[in-house]
Structure 1
Amino acid sequence: MVKKPLKIVTIGGGSSYTPELIEGFIKRFDSLPAGEIWLVDIPAGEEKLQIVGSLAQRMVEKAGHPIHIHLTTNRREALKDADFVTTQFRVGLLDARAKDERIPLKYGVIGQETNGPGGLLKGLRTIPVILDIIKDMEELCPDAWLINFTNPAGMVTEAVLRHSSWKKVVGLCNVPVGMKMGIAKLLDVSPEKVFIDFAGLNHMVFGLDVYVDGTSVLKEVIEKLADPDKSLTMKNIADLGWEPEFIRALGFLPCPYHRYYYQTEKMLEEEKKAAEENGTRAEVVKALEKELFELYKDPELGEKPKQLEKRGGAYYSDAACSLINSIYNDSRDIQPVNTKNNGAIASIPFDSAVEINCVITKEGPKPIAIGDLPVPVRGLVQQIKSFERIAAEAAVSKDYHKALLAMTINPLVPSDTKAKEILDEMLDAHGLTDFLKPHQKEDMIKK
């Protein structure tokens, strides 16, 4: 039976990550017939959209597949009758990320795009946009799946589940895939042989067990991670080894982002040093993207360039395209995604978003129950879930006090006084005047 060509829409199509995604669709064309791929961006990103779009067209032409690439700044035009919608945008672009990273450092607090104050402010900017996209989808493509890669992915998924009626949403992250690949390299085995029991939240996920060919090798992996020269990390996170006795005591596989919580002082010093010497990660990425887009302009380039790996998007296409492929084909394989808990993790509310292994079906992800999280990790995960829920409420209600509460309960922010100072400066820096307290709005009107 000939399968109907799919219409796939990518919002944030001018991203430097897009060639990863296009490569993923090309590789899976036989099982995932992408007939149309619409790359959407805002007018301010149109130049990058044209550059990336031209590369995407060359890539599909080189592959010889009948995939039609469309470029537009008209989101509604793109969404009409879409089958899958992927989101990978950044509200405020990299300049906003730089503020999220630099401002907290002034107060001796971690500055990072998805953790701590930076994660909160990114959520406050992003969630209203995602909910606006959903309003368009309800009208224009009510049967489509929303595959969200936009950070903070867990908080965004939480907001969609709680503050919209949209059910067909899956949050996605390349961290679990990166962890699996890293473990395979650590053990010198093929990645296909490795299976990890993932459970937790986005950027707060743990590997509760690790298997090779069905046999648990968790203790062996923990011992390898106890060697300071053998760690798992990402391009955007300092490669600090774990304290051997701590990682043995923990007994589970942490994700790279756990360094912000378990090695806060060291990570803060690394961030300060990096910001002084080379700039924040946003500023480094800005320079890297300039190089990438110069490469993308080359009319002879017809494939994803090797340099894209430095951007931090490794395995992005594998995560996104594997998920879409499995939903479309009702594959019923197991993948870690962000979805509604539905009781899979007893320690987290039933209707909250969690990152967990799921069986992927045409009806969406079916989370695999693990019961309670182990006591050593349960409290931290619950605290971050409280932060995500209150932050999502703040983003939807534009309530300053909820935003302050979210900032204060985040474990990376050391006091309520400092939380208020950081929040006030960051809201001002991003021009989020809707969150100003009543007397502040009155002062602005008078001015």
Structure 2
Amino acid sequence: MKIAVIGGGSTYTPELADGLARLRDVLPLDELVLMDPSQERLDLVGGMSARILAAQGHPCRVVTTRHTREAVDGADAVLIQLRVGGQDARRQDETWPLECGCVGQETTGAGGLAKALRTVPVVLDIAAKVREANPDAWIVDFTNPVGIVTRALLSEGHRAVGLCNVAIGLQRHLAELLGADPERVSLDHFGLNHLTWVRGVHLDGQSQDELPRLLKANGEALAGHLDLPVAALELTGMLPSYYLRYYYEHDEVVRELQGAPTRAEVVADVERELLHIYADPTVTTKPELLSQRGGAYYSEAAVALVASLLTAATSEPQVVNVRNQGTLPFLPDDAVIEVPADVDRGGARPRALEPVPPIAAGLISHVFAYEQLALEAALHGGRDRVERALLAHPLVGQLDQARRLADRLLLANRDHLSWVRG
């Protein structure tokens, strides 16, 4: 079995290698191909990944390449985890929106739109190469904004599933609070990528909901874990994703971000130190510092998903980004939502959900309208499409703001958008 990782020079990749080594019985692997445009990163990350696998006795061969076609040739699954423009582009996504009084974040608001515009064409080009090399290969997208990128892939007929680590991270935390092994805990999780809520927590598939007990006993601690005021949990009766803070406390977040170091700057410092560690040939285990990079439990989620897509004859429930298919009746069938799905070799099929409460349904509808317009702008370009997407976003929603943000977005991303340069 061969897996290719596009963006394999990411400092995330040793986390994936560690998961592949630990979970070899779940996903037997013969070859791991890391593709990245940076030879320096490939040398450091590829070497580190190979040492991790070897130290745990995994016979998998690690291959590195700078060429996409070479990487995907014969691959059974292709993981996409790239960042167009690198941390420099992310730093801009996190700064110029603040000049207009809007949140600066790489997947939410105007910065998220900029990332979608840069990313969608690149991912579709990669997917076309995957289809040419092996039309039966599965594409797993971990590249943000996952919902928009996955919808672009599915709209072009690619065999794709989107993956985010938010759900598995929260599931692991709740299992710890319950004193239960993670595999015993399932979540009633719904929404769009980076716009999700958990309204139910179940042990061993039982109907009894453990969430009310968790909220009563751990409300303040859970709010702190999610970086949200406890009122957000009390008013909704649910556990909102920490990304909901950008909506529930937008103005407060803007005040905090203005003048503070960007997340891109923090991550860049962490990455420099990680690459220095990876360069040490005596290091054979993933460093603790990797936990500060983000992507916790990414390896467990990725290995479980790929294993189900490639080997499972019977379906395995996992939280993924998948076509709506009537699951949320207020969205189109081809919307991409983040919900528990049954996953096997036939793909991912969303499980039926109870009706979504209005306090969440309204915001989901609003953000999905923005996502539709964002995808149109990413696919077809044009300043008008960019302005429409910004105007539709609930964190913008004002004509003057949309125009000012469009000015800054196009200026900051001129080198990445051919239709702007042309």
Show CA shifts across 1:87-140 (max 9, x none): 000000000000000111111110001000111000000000011011111211
CA offsets, 1:242-281, max 9 Å, x none? 243x4222112211111111111222222225x2xxx100
Structure 1 letter corresponding to 2:30: G
TM-score by length of 1: 0.90
- 2:79 corresponds to which of 86, 102, 110: 86
Hey, what's the Cα distance between the residues in 1 that align with 2:419 and 2:400? 18
Whether the 8 Å contact between 2:118 and 2:417 is mirrored in structure 1 is: no
CA–CA separation in structure 2 for the residues paired with 1:11 and 1:434: 22
Deviation at 1:224, TM superposition (A): 4.5
Distance 2:138 2:407 in 1: 37
Q: State the 1:328 CA deviation.
A: 2.1
Structure 1 residue aligned with 2:129: 136
1:134-181 CA-to-partner distances (Å, cap 9, x unmatched) read: 11112111110000000000110111122x121x10000000011112
Letter in 2 for 1:259: R
Per the alignment, residue 26 of structure 2 pairs with: 31
Matched, 1:248 2:234: yes
Q: Residue 402 of structure 1: CA displacement? A: 1.3
- Aligned ranges 1:220-259 → 2 under 5 Å: 220-224=213-217, 226-227=219-220, 229-231=221-223, 233=225, 240-244=227-231, 246-259=232-245
8 Å contact kept, 1:40–1:74: yes
Which of 382, 404, 411 does residue 428 from structure 1 map onto?
A: 411
Q: In the TM superposition, what are the counterparts of 1:288-307 in structure 2 within 5 Å?
A: 288-307=270-289
- Is the partner of 2:101 in helix, strand or coil? coil
TM-score scaled by length of structure 2: 0.95
Backbone CA RMSD of aligned residues: 1.7
What SS is found at the alignment partner of 1:231? helix
Asked whether 1:319 is paired with 2:301, we answer yes
* Counterpart contact for 1:186–1:230, Cα < 8 Å: no
* 1:270 and 2:256 are equivalent in the alignment: yes
| 1:18 alignment partner, one of 13, 17, 22 | 13
CA distance in 2, matches of 1:248, 1:433: 43
Q: 1:197 aligns with which of 168, 185, 188?
A: 188
Q: Number of residue pairs matched?
A: 418
Percent identity of equivalent pairs:
39
> What is the rounded CA distance, in whole Å, between the counterparts of 2:217 and 2:249 in structure 1?
19
Please state if 1:375 is matched with 2:358.
Answer: yes
User: What secondary structure does 1:65 align onto?
Assistant: coil
| 2:147 maps to 1:165 | no
Q: Distance in 1 between matches of 2:372 and 2:217?
A: 36
Tell me what 2:382 maps to. Answer: 399
Separation in structure 2 between the aligned mates of residue 200 and residue 266 of structure 1, nearest angstrom: 24
Asked whether 1:346 is paired with 2:341, we answer: no
Tell me by how many angstroms 1:232 deviates.
5.7
Contact 1:232 1:256 in 2 (8 A): no
Consecutive unaligned residues in structure 1, runs of 5 or more: 1-5, 234-238
Q: Deviations over 1:332-352 (max 9, x none)?
A: 221100011111221221111
- Alignment partners' CA distance in 1, 2:183 and 2:302: 18
> Do the aligned partners of residues 303 and 433 (structure 1) sit closer, same or farther apart at CA in structure 2, a change above 3 Å counting?
closer
**Residue type at the aligned position of 1:16:** T
Instruction: Extract unaligned runs of 5+ from structure 2.
Output: none
* Cα distance in 2 between the residues matched to 1:269 and 1:50: 41
